[in-house]
Structure 1
Amino acid sequence: MASHTALRDREMTYRLIISQLFYDGYSNLAVQLSNVIKAQPACPPSDRLIGIVKLGLEAEGNKREDTTISCVAPGTGLDLEFETEVQRISSEVATYETCYVTSHKGPCRSATYHPSGQVVATGSEDSSIKVLDVERMLAKSLDNIDPNEREAHPVIRTLYDHSEEVSTLQFHPTSPLLFSGSFDCTIKVFEYTKPSVKRSSKCIQEAFAVKSISLHPSGDYMLAGTEHPTIRLYDATTFQCYSTSSALDQHRGPITEVKFSPKGNLFATASMDGDIKVWDGVSGRCVSTFKSAHDSVPVSSVQFSRNSKYILSSGLDSVVRLWELSTSRLLIAYTGAGTTGRQECHTNATFNHTEDFALFPDEQSRSLCSWDARNADRQRLLATGHAQPVRVVCHSPTGPALMTCSDDHRARFWYRNADI
């Protein structure tokens, strides 16, 4: 019975091929094939085969997509203009568990996720950079990797080309490149997908220690913030440098962070002078300044919301603040992280992947604080297990995962435990 069905299917396939050949004008080939298989009755011209192949390819593509990690965060993100009662779609970070720990030889001071969420990089005061595969870290936590199998190790690259602390990292959005900035006054570019590459392929020599870099969503331009008040804008291909012609637009102190908006039409900067500035991404002119944004203490970090309507900031006052760009006003203050007063170390605040929560580490307790991003309700703390203060919190852009980097030399990879 099975062999009879196979013969029938094969005959139908040949008949479809013959009909397609007739339809496309290859009559001689169609006749030859028809004579070989003795097609009865004769096959009329038809393009049915193309339709069947198209449907099959679409089904195959859908199946392949189902087995890969999603590169798009769920939900619409934070939008207080239209939201009243919003159902959260993500779990709070207190349900995350440590899946993998990697160690540097010095304090871990920087981290960044690839936009796909599949790769993460960490940088250290020891001048090294590690690139880690997210799926391998998850598999390692489930003991699905042979410890003797080098190819399956979560750390896929260790890069050395800086001489001082690696202070900032960012992946190129479309090319397999990793950009790094350092206290050695350089910005370097690594082709991290090449196994033999441990040194950078390109280098920018700056005049001051590099504190922060940010790539335009297109990958064509790069912002750089240094120990100097002036913002640098580079062509990411030619490395030609630009800066605004107006000295009055610039900060009055060293830059602590620079950040392009998701749309690339704006960028924001934070400074030791206590101000946050918002800049036009085309003209390079300052369009708004939040004076003394954190009660006159230095501002540590700035981050745009997904829709570019808001900026999330943190400062040495241990308070996280949400600013509305259209009105240039403070909307929400997330308090309770600085239980013993102002902090000593610069640490960033960030959203989770759905922007349901705002995250910030408590310097003294070394716990990760979390608030409902819409109403500032405190959530349960996540005990990070670090022995020293957490200097960087980096949440995955696509799923319930994050990295915490600490002065204890360790970077911890966290993932949501669905059983809690």
Structure 2
Amino acid sequence: MKPDIKDRDYMYRLIIGQLFYDGHQQIAVNLSQALGCSMQPPPPSDKLFRLVSIAKQFVDDPDAKDKEPTMAAEALSTGLDLEFDADVAPTTPEPSLYETIYLTSHKAPCRSAAFNVDGTLLATGSADCSIKIMDVERIVARETRGLDLNALDNGPDAHHPVIRTLYDHIDEVTCIAFHPREPILMSGSNDFTIKLFDYSKTAVKRAMKTIFEVEPIKAISFHPTGEFVLVGTNHPTMRLYNVETQQCFVCPVPSDQHRGSISDVHYAENARMFVTGSKDGDVKVWDGISNRCVETFQRAHDGAEICSACFTRNGKYILTAGRDSIVKLWELSTNRCLIAYTGAGATGAQDCPIQAAFNHNEDYVLFPDEKSGSLCSWDARNADRKRLLALGHTAATRCFVHSPTQPAFVTGSDDHRARFWYKKLSS
């Protein structure tokens, strides 16, 4: 039986995707152009190799036809997984369609922000030493549903999105993280302290616990259980703290550590690994149990400082951003860069570090371009560049965080403002 045109196209796309995956980019591009799919070349994928491996079972083993193919037993991923869904089209709205629906001001630059695990709360931190906690549902409801929340009030300010304002640092708040299970907010600061706030108590504005460090705090990440927290500082050595006892652990092998200050830390969702990025230009992957470095991507961005590093939900990939304005996707099974998202930084090199992030279902990669003041976005699977979104800040964007559950993100800027962006259903 002769294959139809769709079957041929699918076969060619598998071949091109396999060539991209195996590092033969130029050959893949040439073949893609020759076959007329140069406008949207297939993403890198190992699917062809796995299909051939399965078919080979039937050739090499006469009894294989009575067995289930290996691939059939594997579960599909809910996030980015180039093994299974490399050719899936995005199902969520493009980031260029988001709009600012809420704006809050600090008294100094806003350079840190975080959502909680279920995306219902948002916190922003500022160089004015304050932290604001906002109710995301109130932000969305007052703008998109036209609800008269005053009718539901128990007090004059109950409808306001800002539900807590916390003061206990004496220098800039540089990083924020919500506890994954308890109503606790952790913050790090240039005042050499890490503070834990119990935001379930409405009258409390001061921290219930303080961890003292010897360097300014640059990044924090909670263990998925909430029992431990990773702390990156201006020192090259990664710290791991027991949240309850405040006991500090460090890797006993000096050669495992970075050579420059740590700029970002991030736990994988299964806690088996964590990743760190540093000013030394390296990205390190660590074993979550032994606290030992198991892989180093040296000069990950050609020696440029690493701005951010985070895992995909399935833990198969790491997304990094560098001061070279390039975002990269690294595959852990092969320890190499699989996709480079380029096009940001065209108007000049960035002066300040800024994070890259996925949207809530990992369809898109997002990265603010400092010089143009716009948000760059790409299809996460094939690096297809999407339309720019003007962020509207009057100074450099210094923090960027996307909601883990819905089409919403927050940007913080040196113009003292934090903007909440949302894709309205009616738009």
TM-score range, shorter chain: 0.7 to 0.9
Letter in 1 for 2:307: S
Query: TM-score if structure 1 supplies the norm length?
Result: 0.81
Pairwise CA distance, 1:419? 3.4
Equivalent pair of 1:191/1:200 in contact (CA under 8 Å): yes
**Which of 225, 230, 234 pairs up with 2:232?**
225
1:396 paired to 2:403: yes
Letter in 2 for 1:127: C
SS of 1:136's equivalent in the other structure is: helix
- Kindly provide the CA deviation profile for residues 286-319 of structure 1, in whole angstroms up to 9, marking residues without a partner as x: 0000000111111010010000000001010000
How far apart are the structure 2 equivalents of 1:328 and 1:271? 18
Equivalent pair of 2:348/2:371 in contact (CA under 8 Å): no
The aligned runs of 1:137-156 (5 Å cut-off) are: 137-142=139-144, 144=147, 145-146=149-150, 149-156=156-163
Equivalent pair of 1:95/1:418 in contact (CA under 8 Å): no
SS of 2:302's equivalent in the other structure is: coil
How far apart are the structure 2 equivalents of 1:311 and 1:228? 23
The aligned runs of 1:83-232 (5 Å cut-off) are: 83-142=85-144, 144=147, 145-146=149-150, 149-232=156-239
* Ranges in structure 1 where 5+ consecutive residues have no aligned partner: 1-74
Larger Rg: 1
**Which of 300, 304, 309 pairs up with 1:302?**
309
The aligned runs of 1:332-411 (5 Å cut-off) are: 332-411=339-418
Residue of structure 1 in register with 2:255 after alignment: 248
Letter in 2 for 1:112: A
- Kindly provide the CA deviation profile for residues 47-86 of structure 1, in whole angstroms up to 9, marking residues without a partner as x: xxxxxxxxxxxxxxxxxxxxxxxxxxxx710001122320
Equivalent pair of 2:86/2:381 in contact (CA under 8 Å): no
- Kindly provide the CA deviation profile for residues 192-225 of structure 1, in whole angstroms up to 9, marking residues without a partner as x: 1211110000000000000000000111110000
Residue of structure 1 in register with 2:325 after alignment: 318
How far apart are the structure 1 equivalents of 2:106 and 2:200? 21
How far apart are the structure 1 equivalents of 2:303 and 2:99? 36
How far apart are the structure 2 equivalents of 1:194 and 1:141? 27
Query: TM-score if structure 2 supplies the norm length?
Result: 0.79
Pairwise CA distance, 1:365? 1.3
Letter in 2 for 1:104: H
How far apart are the structure 1 equivalents of 2:141 and 2:426? 17
Letter in 2 for 1:204: I
Give RMSD over aligned pairs. Answer: 1.4
SS of 1:152's equivalent in the other structure is: coil
- Kindly provide the CA deviation profile for residues 97-120 of structure 1, in whole angstroms up to 9, marking residues without a partner as x: 111001000100100001011000
Equivalent pair of 2:347/2:372 in contact (CA under 8 Å): no
Equivalent pair of 1:216/1:264 in contact (CA under 8 Å): yes
How far apart are the structure 2 equivalents of 1:119 and 1:238? 27
The aligned runs of 1:277-296 (5 Å cut-off) are: 277-296=284-303
Residue of structure 2 in register with 1:11 after alignment: none
Pairwise CA distance, 1:135? 1.0
How far apart are the structure 1 equivalents of 2:166 and 2:418? 16
Pairwise CA distance, 1:238? 0.9
How far apart are the structure 2 equivalents of 1:87 and 1:338? 27
Equivalent pair of 1:129/1:159 in contact (CA under 8 Å): yes
Equivalent pair of 1:317/1:341 in contact (CA under 8 Å): no
Equivalent pair of 2:80/2:312 in contact (CA under 8 Å): yes
SS of 1:139's equivalent in the other structure is: helix
How far apart are the structure 1 equivalents of 2:205 and 2:142? 24
Show structure 1 runs of 4+ deviating over 6 A: none
How far apart are the structure 2 equivalents of 1:324 and 1:317? 20
Pairwise CA distance, 1:141? 2.0
How far apart are the structure 2 equivalents of 1:209 and 1:348? 19
Equivalent pair of 2:359/2:404 in contact (CA under 8 Å): yes
How far apart are the structure 1 equivalents of 2:137 and 2:216? 34
* Ranges in structure 2 where 5+ consecutive residues have no aligned partner: 1-76
Letter in 2 for 1:82: F
Pairwise CA distance, 1:149? 3.0
Equivalent pair of 2:218/2:233 in contact (CA under 8 Å): yes
